[in-house]
Amino acid sequence: MRIMKLLTRDERPPGEEPVSDLVPEPEVSRAKRVRVLLAAACAPLLFSYTAVATVLAVVAFAADRSRFSGIGTLRAAGPGWLASWQVGLEFGGHPLSVLPLLPTIAVAWFTARTASRAVRRIGGGTPADAVPVVAVIAGSHALFGVLIALLAGGSPVGVNPLTAFCVPGLLAGLAAVAGTAKRCGSPATLRERFDPVAVHGLRAGALGLAALIACGAAVFTTVTAVSWSTVDGLFEPGLGASLGLFLLSVAYLPNAVIASLSFTTGPGFSVGSLTVGMFGYREGQLPGVPVLAGIPSHHAVWWPALLLLPALVGALVGWKIRAIDEDPMLRMRAVAVAGALVAFGCVVLGTLAGGRLGDGPFDPVSVPVGVASVITFCWIVIPGGFVAFFTGAHEAPEPPGEPGEDTEDTEDTDATEDIDATEVAEADEEVVESEEGEAAEPDEVIEAEAEFEDEAEAELARELGEDLDGTPAEIEPGSEPEQDIAVTESTDGSGDESSPGGDR
């Protein structure tokens, strides 16, 4: 105990009041806030631009029969930075808008981390605190994109300034919102404003979309492993060319996974004249890129068996929703919300994964996003609705009968209870048997005896079979007291008695 006291002893001077643990954080100064916002605006730009320039420098330095130039690498990093934010380019008048998604994921992740760190440094905890951070990040990316587009005006690479302004600013702003949402309590605020059924549906839809992406990745990995000999033959002997093909294939991996997702769900994808679908195949040329080596050269009859994967994903969504409410209709509504989210996600992913690829035989690379959204919605709603409806709890059925019948039964029950209560009351008022087995008179006569004051009234009470103290008098066998005697008082208060026959 002494050791604990020494370890926990109070170091405050004598007489000083203890300080509460819940001390509010000091307010951030204006200068520090400005520094944090400037760092949040510039850090993602420096990271992404430096990363793109480093990759281009490595490829150019390792390439055979090439002359490395630092200035040329820095200038080429500008269009590369725009490509990492999904801004379409033109090379000598030939469009290039099918851009790799892996660099986009990397720079968006770093932007989200930077925004989250900036909000924490300024002590933000509400959605309003995230507004300046999101604004400076989106604005800096939009201005930097316009600057690169203007600087690339006289080069062989063409960029639309409006696109260079809008697309990086929009994507960076969305990444910043995602990074600050949890710290600023935005999910809780939205959860309070949304219908709870819709919230459960959105969660299940996010799970379903992630499961579909996982299915696409599994199919792509399998077909690539099976076609590994073809993949190995596409790499050139030189280090620089092989490194460039490898980095290009790695950068386009998310695009390939999304195309595989579209194939697994049914619609398929196309590269130029080549069309690969679950129930259709049209031959065409393919670029010699290792990431495309797993694309089959002909249709196979077993492909429809892969449709079991999206059906299982739909069942998984229904299983996730089965316990949210006892009402099956509410569960079906949640399944519909989940299907809508998955369909919308497939539209966004399909749009980002495709685009123009020059004007040659490989143009365009596309995923039928309209058909894919409808089909994925059906894959979620049909099996998911079946599982959610039949595996979840159901409300207990109401007892048969019309409302009028229930009312009559209730009235009958109440009447029976009233009758029973009346019978009990009457039984209490009936004659009570004495020890000798003789019956006592009703309580009305006993009360009348209490009002008698003179001897005449007492004698009349004895004739009725009771004593003055209210106890029953002994009655000889064969004789019964007269029961029909009425006692009246005259108007002058003399207490005259009248017999039933009028005799006095």
In the prediction, which pLDDT does 451 show?
52
- Residue 231: which of 253, 260, 262, 216 has the closest Cα? 253
In the prediction, which pLDDT does 235 show?
81
In the prediction, which pLDDT does 454 show?
54
**Which tokens hold the place of 366?**
């596309």
In the prediction, which pLDDT does 230 show?
87
Domain boundaries, the chain: 30-186, 196-391
Amino acid at 53: A
In the prediction, which pLDDT does 448 show?
47
Rounded distance between C-alpha atoms, residue 204 and residue 462, angstroms: 93
pLDDT along the chain (504 residues), means of 10: 42 44 58 92 94 89 71 87 93 89 96 94 85 95 94 85 95 94 79 86 95 96 91 77 86 95 93 90 88 89 94 96 90 95 95 88 89 95 94 63 46 47 48 41 49 54 52 46 42 42 39
The enclosing H or E element of 104 equals helix 102-121
Q: What residues contact residue 151 under an 8 Å CB cut-off, 6+ apart?
A: 78
In three-state form (DSSP H/G/I as H, E/B as E, the rest C), the secondary structure along 454-478 is: CHHHHHHHHHCCECCCCCECCCCCC
In the prediction, which pLDDT does 145 show?
95
In the prediction, which pLDDT does 64 show?
67
H helix runs in 296-442, sequence order = 308-321, 328-353, 369-391, 403-429
Rounded distance between C-alpha atoms, residue 198 and residue 338, angstroms: 8
Tell if the pTM clears 0.85, that is, is over it: no
Rounded distance between C-alpha atoms, residue 42 and residue 36, angstroms: 10
